[in-house]
Structure 1
Amino acid sequence: MPYDLKHVFASLPQMERGVAKVIGGDPKGNNFLYTNGKCVIIRNIDNPAIADIYTEHAHPVTVAKYAPSGFYIASGDASGKIRIWDTTQKEHLLKYEYTPISGKVNDIAWTEDSKRIAVVGDGREKFGSVFLWDSGSSVGEVSGHSKLINSVDIRQKRPYRLVTGSDDTCASFFEGPPFKFKFTLRDHSQFVNSVRFSPDGNRFATAGADGQIVIYDGTKGELISPLGGEKAHSGGIYAICWSPDSTQLISASGDKTVKLWDVGAGTAVTTFKMGNEVMDQQLGCLWQKDHLLSISLSGYINYLDKNNPDRPIRTIKGHTKSIQCLTVHKSEGRAYIYSGSHDGHINYWDAETGKNDCFKGKGHSNQVSKMAFNEANELVTCSMDDTLRYTSISKKEYSASDVVKMDFQPKSVSAGPGGLSLAVCIGQLVLLKDKKKIFTLDNLGYEAEVGVIHPGGATAAVGGTDGKVHLYSIQGNTLKDEGQTLEAKGSITDMAYSNDGAYLAVIDDKKVATTYTVADGYSVKNEFYGHHAKPVTLAWSPDNEHFATGGMDMMVYIWTVGDADQRVKLPDTHRLHHVSGLAWIDEHTLVTASHDASVKQWTITY
């Protein structure tokens, strides 16, 4: 194969304020899973940089759970559809598909023999269903609630019991199979967000928006006692998870803490304080082997440390929203990937290990549209918040002083030698030197889309919707229109000079990539055809012989400058979305990013 997937740096879970997030655990204890958009993300719990993404749902996926056998995963989406698929093969073949309820699925539970599945959520005629996994035929009914059901669990021992928690402030207890409604538990005064049986089946717990956790007998459903007296947390509780030995449980709350409880004593042993910001609210948790995980509203996944409750062992960061641009920078022999997303968040990743973090301080408040590196080792970014920012890579911190306010929204930014940057704004070109505007050009007579400075620093090329590349010479502190334009086939979407400055590559909405030879007065060197839809991003390989383009047709092509017929085609790099950013680590390693909020690395062989 000319290409091979090397790494997947997955997105974080997509979070919503006040909505619990269910994290699924693998019964063998190796993986955990969660959802973002239409993707189910499976990650290795010991090394979360190892990830796999399932992308077969047509609607946003809301919950995914492993079967107790470990061979299958059931995932449910916003339309009420359940897909049961294989975990052992790379292709994740679909085994069965059902639509048990007619609205969003909130939770899924399996019986311990992996034969029956309970599904609950929001429906029109019913809020839940229990059925056989291989035929879909019903094994009881989930009744007794007047509002949508948030949570369901099944006792993992015979005799089976099923319990549900709902927005009508009640929990319901069922015996079966076939499961029949037995009685209602009315010990909460607010929504019941999570219900979970202990692994040994002796007890179950319910947790609610009233900040209470109540423990019941697992076989009879009788009340044992609430945890922590009147209130377990000062905020609503969104998730609970039992320890494997059934003696303790953890609870995640909107009061920005996670608590570890000794269930027998009814007291909190440890309180993990996760921060003071709104984004530090805790909406999900998982106890797997020795790992205690919680999910913050920011999407960050925290590995909690029982011995040091104020500091997680590690926090997995990344993106929850679509990535718009990306670039690579090498420092001290290591390559780092920088990615900017739709919500203004910038993340950087160690290309080898996947270790990542974000810049400290307050950064962009809106979509990061383009990024580049300058000679001073600063990341230059332009955003829809109408600013350009210069961020020092060594400090890894946003600087309040290195922000340049633009008169109009910038679409593109390019960095050149000698402290130069060029910003293409709506209706205006801005030349900057040492983080200060030195020249602006208005009334262009065409709509500029993207601009690049030649590595030599004497020329700026600007591509427009008029299908032309306009060349300007940079003289002192001015941009001078030399009257020279290059014809492309259509409205220009992206362009870049090769690293040695020998070529300029341009892509346009007529699906053509064109290269021009700079030394030969920008004569056309080659034209490349292959995309079925508009290409939107382009990046040169460090060897200056190849460049990659990504298009709305979900394709990535790697072209050879000297031979238009020689190309490597990567179909379906991100399955659900087109590639929004491309960058190279070395001549054989391409990085792609997309609206699925994940970053992938590919090994390319020519």
Structure 2
Amino acid sequence: MPFEPKHVFASLPQMERGVAKVIGGDPKGKNFLYTNGKCVIIRNIENPAIADIYTEHAHQVTVAKYAPSGFYIVSGDTSGKIRIWDTTQKEHLLKYEYTPISGTIKDIAWTEDSKRLAVVGDGREKFGAVFLWDSGSSVGDISGHCKYINSVDIRQKRPYRLAAASDDTCVSFSEGPPFKFKFTLREHSKFVNCVRFSPDGEHFATACAGGQIFIYNGKTGEAAGSLGGEKAHSGGIYAISWSPDSSQLISASGDKTVKLWDVGAGTAVTTFNLGTDVSDQQLGCLWQNDHLLSISLSGYINYLDKNNPNRPIRTIKGHSKSIQCLTVHKSDGQSHIYSGSHDGHINYWDADTGENDCISGKGHSNQVSKMVTNEAGELVTCSMDDTLRFTNINKKEYSASDVVKMDFQPKSVSAASGGLSLAVCIGQVVLLKDKKKVFTLDNLNFEAEVGVIHPGGATAAVGGADGIIQLYSIQGNTLKDDGKTINVSGTITDMAYSNDGAYLAVIDEKKAATVFSVADSYAVKNSFYGHHARPVTLAWSPDNEHFATSGMDMLVYVWTVADSDKRIKIPDTHRLHHVSGLAWIDEHTLVTTSHDASIKQWTITY
């Protein structure tokens, strides 16, 4: 194969304030899963850099759970559809598809034999359904609620019992199969967010927005006590998860803590403090073998440490919103990927291990549109917050002084030797030297879309919506219009000089990629066709003989400069969205990113 997937650095869960996030656990204890947009993300619990993404839902996925057998995953979305799919094959073949309720699915539970499913949520005619997984035929009903159901669980041994927790402050208890409503539990004073049976089936616990946790007998539904007396947490509780031996449980709360409870004693053994910011509210948790996980409102996944409750063993970071651009920087033989997202966050990733963190401090307040690195070891970024930032790559923190405020919103940024940067803004082209504006072109007679500086620093090329590239010579601190232009067939969407400065590659709205030879007065070297929708971004390989382009057609092409017929086509790189950013780690490793908030690496063989 000319291309092979090498790494997937997955997105974080998509979080919403005040809404619980269900994390699913693999019965074998190897993986955990969660949802972001239309994706279900499966990650290895020991090494979260090993990930897999399922993308077959047409609507936003809200919850996913493993079958107790481990062979299937069921996932539910906002339209009320559930899909049951295979976990053993890479293709994740669909086994069954049903629409049990006509609205957002909030939670799903299996019986221990992997044969029956309970699905609950915000349906129009009913809030829940219980059915056989292979035929969809009903095995009872979930009744007793007047508002939508947030959570459901089934006792994992016979006789089966089902408990459902609702926004009507009640918990319903049913016996089965077929499941029939038995009675309502009314101890809670606010929305009940979560209900979970202990693995041994002896008890179940319920948690609510009022900060209370109640324990009940798993077989009879009788009240068996509460945790922490009147209140278990000072904020609302969004999730609970039992220990494998059923003696303890953890609870995740909006008070920014997770607590570990001794259920028998009803007291908290440990309180994990996870920060002081609003984004540190805890909206989900999972106890998987020896791992205690929680999810913050920021989307960060925390591995809790019983021995040091104030500092997680590790925190998985990344992006939860769409990634708009990326670049690669090498130092001391080590490659790092930098990615900028829709919400202004910039992350850096170890290209080999996927270890990542975000640049610290106060950075961009809006979408990061474009990023490059310069020879001074700085990340140069432009954003919809109308600024350019220069961030020291070694320090990995934003500097309040290295921000340049632009008059208009910047669309593109480029850097070259001699401390030069070029920003193309709406209606303006700005030349910067040593992080200061030195020259501005106003009153342009064309709409500038993208600008690049030749690596040698003597020429700036600015591409317009009219399909014309204006060439300016950089003389001292000015841009001089020498009247030189290059024409392509349509609005220019991106362009880049090769690393050695020999070529300029341009993509345009008419689906063409054109390479110009700089030494031959920008004569056309070759033209490339293959995209069947507008190409959006391009990147040169370090070998200067190949470059990659991606388009709205979801395709990525790797082109050979010398031969327009030699091309490598990578379909479905990110199955739900077009590729928004491309970069190369080396001549055989291409990095792609997209609005699915994940980053992928591909091994390219010519």
CA distance in 2, matches of 1:222, 1:550: 60
Q: Residue in 1 aligned with 2:50?
A: 50
CA distance in 1, matches of 2:556, 2:97: 31
CA distance in 1, matches of 2:482, 2:80: 61
Q: Which structure 1 segments of 5+ residues have no match?
A: none
Q: Residue in 1 aligned with 2:216?
A: 216
Q: Residue in 2 aligned with 1:147?
A: 147
Q: Residue in 1 aligned with 2:545?
A: 545
Q: Residue in 1 aligned with 2:248?
A: 248
**Partner-residue secondary structure (3-state), 1:339:** strand
Q: CA deviation at 1:331?
A: 1.0
Q: Residue in 1 aligned with 2:435?
A: 435
CA distance in 1, matches of 2:450, 2:143: 58
Deviation per CA, 1:275-309: give whole Å up to 9, x if none. Answer: 00000000000000000000000000000000000
For these two proteins, the number of residue pairs brought into alignment is 606
What does residue range 574-593 of structure 1 map to in structure 2 within 5 Å? 574-593=574-593
AA aligned opposite 2:167? D
CA distance in 1, matches of 2:55, 2:281: 28
**Partner-residue secondary structure (3-state), 1:28:** coil
Does the alignment pair 1:225 with 2:225? yes
Does the alignment pair 1:288 with 2:283? no
CA distance in 1, matches of 2:465, 2:282: 46
CA distance in 2, matches of 1:90, 1:143: 38
Q: Residue in 1 aligned with 2:117?
A: 117
What does residue range 390-405 of structure 1 map to in structure 2 within 5 Å? 390-405=390-405
AA aligned opposite 1:432? L
CA distance in 2, matches of 1:325, 1:250: 38
Q: Residue in 1 aligned with 2:357?
A: 357
Q: Residue in 2 aligned with 1:101?
A: 101
Deviation per CA, 1:155-185: give whole Å up to 9, x if none. Answer: 0000000000000000000000000000000
AA aligned opposite 2:270? T
Does the alignment pair 1:384 with 2:384? yes
Q: Residue in 2 aligned with 1:522?
A: 522
Q: If the length of structure 1 is used for normalisation, what is the TM-score?
A: 1.00
CA distance in 2, matches of 1:445, 1:287: 62
Q: Residue in 1 aligned with 2:68?
A: 68
Q: Residue in 2 aligned with 1:347?
A: 347
**Partner-residue secondary structure (3-state), 1:129:** strand
**Partner-residue secondary structure (3-state), 2:440:** strand
Q: CA deviation at 1:413?
A: 0.3
Q: CA deviation at 1:264?
A: 0.3
Q: Which structure 2 segments of 5+ residues have no match?
A: none
Does the alignment pair 1:261 with 2:269? no
**Partner-residue secondary structure (3-state), 2:224:** strand
Q: Residue in 2 aligned with 1:134?
A: 134
Q: Residue in 2 aligned with 1:416?
A: 416
Q: Residue in 2 aligned with 1:301?
A: 301
Deviation per CA, 1:359-411: give whole Å up to 9, x if none. Answer: 11010000000000011100000000000000001101000000000000000
AA aligned opposite 1:567? R
**Partner-residue secondary structure (3-state), 2:188:** coil
Deviation per CA, 1:2-51: give whole Å up to 9, x if none. Answer: 00000000000000000000000000000000000000000000000000
AA aligned opposite 1:250? I
CA distance in 2, matches of 1:134, 1:313: 41
Q: Give the % identical residues.
A: 84
Does the alignment pair 1:163 with 2:163? yes
CA distance in 2, matches of 1:318, 1:468: 38
AA aligned opposite 1:407? D
Q: If the length of structure 2 is used for normalisation, what is the TM-score?
A: 1.00
CA distance in 2, matches of 1:470, 1:193: 60
CA distance in 2, matches of 1:362, 1:154: 46
CA distance in 1, matches of 2:488, 2:17: 47
Q: Residue in 2 aligned with 1:532?
A: 532
CA distance in 2, matches of 1:384, 1:399: 18
Q: Residue in 1 aligned with 2:475?
A: 475
Q: Residue in 1 aligned with 2:318?
A: 318
CA distance in 1, matches of 2:198, 2:331: 49
Does the alignment pair 1:465 with 2:465? yes
Q: CA deviation at 1:482?
A: 1.1
CA distance in 2, matches of 1:2, 1:359: 35
CA distance in 1, matches of 2:62, 2:481: 54
Q: Residue in 1 aligned with 2:453?
A: 453
AA aligned opposite 1:167? D
Q: CA deviation at 1:430?
A: 0.5
CA distance in 1, matches of 2:524, 2:443: 28
**Partner-residue secondary structure (3-state), 2:279:** helix
Q: Residue in 2 aligned with 1:189?
A: 189
CA distance in 2, matches of 1:146, 1:466: 60
Q: CA deviation at 1:324?
A: 0.2
**Partner-residue secondary structure (3-state), 1:20:** coil
Q: CA deviation at 1:332?
A: 1.0
CA distance in 2, matches of 1:48, 1:331: 25
AA aligned opposite 1:343? D
Does the alignment pair 1:596 with 2:601? no
**Partner-residue secondary structure (3-state), 1:279:** helix
What does residue range 4-43 of structure 1 map to in structure 2 within 5 Å? 4-43=4-43
CA distance in 2, matches of 1:375, 1:498: 16
